[in-house]
Chain A
Amino acid sequence: MTNSDFKPKGALWLFIILVLVGFVWAVLYFGRSNPLLANNGQAFSSRQTNARQPRTYTVFYGLGVFSPTNIRVHVGDSVRFQNDSKTPIRVVSDSLNGVPDLAGFDSIGEIPPDSVFSYTFGQAGIFGYHNVKNPNEEGTVIVRP
């Protein structure tokens, strides 16, 4: 490999590494406003140790997907299921042999487009749910003590 051959290649790789580092910085910067998506371990531990007030989280439904698909909350927290799609949905708890994982969770009726169904989780556990209209559209709420 000649010197004249190496220089532009070295510059290219240096540029790629610098942009990579820039992106990591941007992830850390923008991740502050989205700690769930950009959690870094500290978010997990601090949430476990601090005395805390109940919070409300939102799960958005659109394009056949619940987002975040898996959400971690604590006992006493509320989760709002917001229907951002053009069709009504009905959110119900997954069940085993006809027994729901979380009795009382199911939305009483359909959640029309641009509407919200809210539920406060009173017990710890891992609760799966799905849209009755399409059982393949599912998500999980992890409720910690």
Chain B
Amino acid sequence: MVIRINNFVRIMIPFGLTQVLGIYAAYKFLPDFLAIQPAGFSQFSFLDLIILAAFAVVFIFVAVRFKKVGSVAFRGFLALLIFSGTQAIWGIWFAPLVSTVLALAVTVLFWFLRNVIMQNIAMVFTLAGIGAVLGLSLLPMTVIYILVIFSFYDIIAVYKTGHMIKLAQAMIESRAIFGFVIPEPGQTARRKISSVTPGQGFMILGSGDVIFPLLLSASLVRISLLSAGIVAVFSIPGLLLMHLIFTNQKSRRPMAALPPIALLTILGYLVAIISNF
């Protein structure tokens, strides 16, 4: 079995930073969320799911089929996400006007610098901010069901239909990468995003693989900060399991990263429940 510790540490740092910042953000946002009832799975109707699925199908179809439109949509959507996520995080420390200006500055810097380090810094802020807000809006059990459903979906979308890979390729071509770009040893984080090719000195960890464990931790902040921490800590061995599967593939190719991460994240939740933390 091959273990590339150096590669794993490079993935773990932005992943871990996002989890820690996300939990801290959720803890700080909590007073504003206490009056809001978190959403249970039963509150979503069948029609809601159909609309969500239809939106996803149309988005994927347009992005893959009409590359120019898809490229603009990806870039616009990514800019919106970066602005929203970073604005939420800056809002912890600064007044609304200042945090909005700072968020705008990060978004502008992101598009002008377009290098790996800026991509990853922006993603840590974006995913932590969005994950904290979304997580606080959901019940832990709802997030558990979401983790299982999306893990199953990830496997189907990568290995059966392959549309996840096409979608990722379309995003990389449009230079709007929803995730972390991890330079392998020998590569520099100052490289321009336009020169990044996955599998050739760089790995990409999708935003979903980072934000889903954070959703569970953030939803638990309402109940117990310690439990949220336990879940975040367990997600790290989940990341290691994902990395082991990835590095031990016969030929290097994209893989479904969420299932192993979700597996250990849910195990962390189970440990928190049994330990009564």
Residue numbers of A with Cβ under 8 A of B are 5-6, 9-10, 12-13, 16-17, 19-21, 23-24, 26-27, 30-31, 34, 36-42, 44, 65, 67-70, 126, 128, 140, 142
Contact = CB atoms under 8 A, between A and B. Distances in A.
B152 A34 contact: no
Given A17-B259, A39-B223, 19 more contacts: A16-B151, A17-B155, A20-B151, A20-B262, A24-B145, A27-B269, A27-B270, A37-B220, A37-B223, A37-B224, A41-B43, A65-B225, A67-B224, A67-B227, A69-B224, A69-B225, A70-B34, A128-B31, A140-B30
Given A24-B144, A27-B270, A37-B140, A16 B259 contact: yes
Q: Chain B: interface residue count, which band? A: 35 or more
Contacts of B224: 37, 67-70
Contacts, number: 109
B148 A41 contact: no
Main secondary structure on chain A at its contact with chain B?
helix
In this complex, the member of B27, B40, B224, B245 whose beta carbon has the largest number of chain A beta carbons within 10 angstroms is B224
A126 B259 CA distance: 38
Interface in B170-213: none
A30 B274 contact: yes
B6 interface: no
A23 B226 contact: no
B42 interface: yes
B267 A13 contact: no
